[in-house]
Chain A
């Protein structure tokens, strides 16, 4: 099995490496929105002294940590797979004796983010020098964030797998994904640290899985959570991981049955 993953890695890394120039443009797009929110919130915090206990430096550190966290936990499954399901070319992958999503697509995701991280490191260093955030990382908090990031990525990967599998039923899967993306932006912590969301919205955001791969790992790395909060969120993450895995299996298998029935 390890041999299979290694082979998939070699193929996907080589494939992603061809698109490194495009990837740089993609990074430019994706870096602007957090920087904009960073500027808006830290200018408000500077004028008022703080917002819900967060000062300008806290906001800067938060968004600049969120950027690499987002790279590590993001999933591009829908862009790899949805069009293949729609035009039927996914049948090549289905003929292989391994689960296409849990092997090839998973490794392709990892190759993509590995390359992204390589290109992002110099950008990140430049941003840190420009904004001078008070990065409150400790060795312990960084070490702890490694398993949190890994589990968070797996959960997000499964959720994106569920959304992608909807392509077996509808051609509008990208519109569904965009609607989900808007919700995830608002409730996952990309727009604002959860503490600032108004009461009921915040309660909902804390229960939903999106914050577990955006807000939670960011706060863990910044060493801003108590041991109790870390334990609670980790338990929640494990719970969601199990639920998402079961839903993914059910949706994928049902989709496959439908796919063969159509005979595409």
Chain B
């Protein structure tokens, strides 16, 4: 465990140096991210200019949800995408060999080889959105609601991470499967709004097939006190189980890996 943490911190350091080497790029990236934030907030303002609520969700709730969505999206942009690219290249060119000869957990290593460290700005923005949303809605949050919100946000993100690990592991069986993560990324935008606005078939898709709603709508429901304790525990268990299952799939898949030349 200590070794993994040291490996992670070494990767964060190297990647931070890369971001700082291209300072203007990093600043342009942050400016673009802020422009998108402006777009998101403007679209919420226009929406609530002509509606009191969206399926019972007030403006404050929607802003909290936007914060949770941006946390998840930051995970996708800063870690999932860059490492997917690296992974797919590794499979194609055989450079994945170097991962498996390292004396650390291979799944942990392929998850963190490239990190866009500047996206940490996005994490602060997302946290500010969550706090601002809670303040806007004005309803007091109990300790239980706050704790289950945070726990479900983490376990929801873990579930999405687990799905990612499964998707890229499938490349060990189906080598041509290098569009692996596209479906996940394509559907991520559905996480900006409460899942109840979608028609039934779409709600089933984003809850059970690509569980984006579990990582976005569900934690905010916990914050609004809409989840029974049993439901909350159930969603948490799904996150934990998914995480465990993913590492089994990764191990089974990586045993099939035999390099690109052979």
Contact = CB atoms under 8 A, between A and B. Distances in A.
Interface of A: 21-22, 25, 28-29, 32-33, 35-36, 39-40, 43-44, 47-48, 51-52, 130-131, 172, 175, 178-179, 182, 185-186, 191-192, 196-198
A29 B185 contact: yes
B192 interface: yes
A40 B35 contact: no
Contact of B47 (A28, A40, A130, A175): A40
Contacts of A130: 199, 201
A43 B50 contact: no
User: Which interface class (under 10, 10 to 19, 20 to 34, 35 or more) fits B?
Assistant: 20 to 34
A28 B39 contact: no
Given A28-B182, A29-B186, A185-B39, A196 B198 contact: no
Given A32-B190, A44-B47, A186 B183 contact: no
Contacts of B51: 44, 47-48, 51
B43 A39 contact: no
Interface in B200-227: 201-202
A191 B43 contact: yes
Nearest to B53: A47
B199 A131 contact: yes
A42 to B, nearest CB: 8
Contacts, number: 73
A101 to B, nearest CB: 26
A196 B179 contact: no
A39 B182 contact: no
Interface of B: 28, 31-32, 35-36, 38-39, 42-43, 46-47, 49-51, 53-55, 179, 182-183, 185-187, 189-190, 192-193, 196-199, 201-202
B50 A39 contact: no
Contacts of B35: 178-179, 182
Contacts of A191: 43, 46
B50 A182 contact: no
A39 B199 contact: yes
Contacts of A48: 51
A176 to B, nearest CB: 10
A130 B197 CA distance: 15
A33 B47 CA distance: 16
A36 B46 contact: no
Contact of B197 (A40, A52, A172): A40
B46 A32 contact: no
A129 to B, nearest CB: 11
A40 B189 contact: no
A36 B186 contact: no
A39 B187 contact: no
Given A48-B51, A191-B46, A28 B32 contact: no
Contact of A25 (B36, B179, B187, B201): B179
B186 A28 contact: yes
A40 B54 CA distance: 8
Contact of A198 (B49, B179, B196): B49
Contacts of A36: 189-190, 192-193
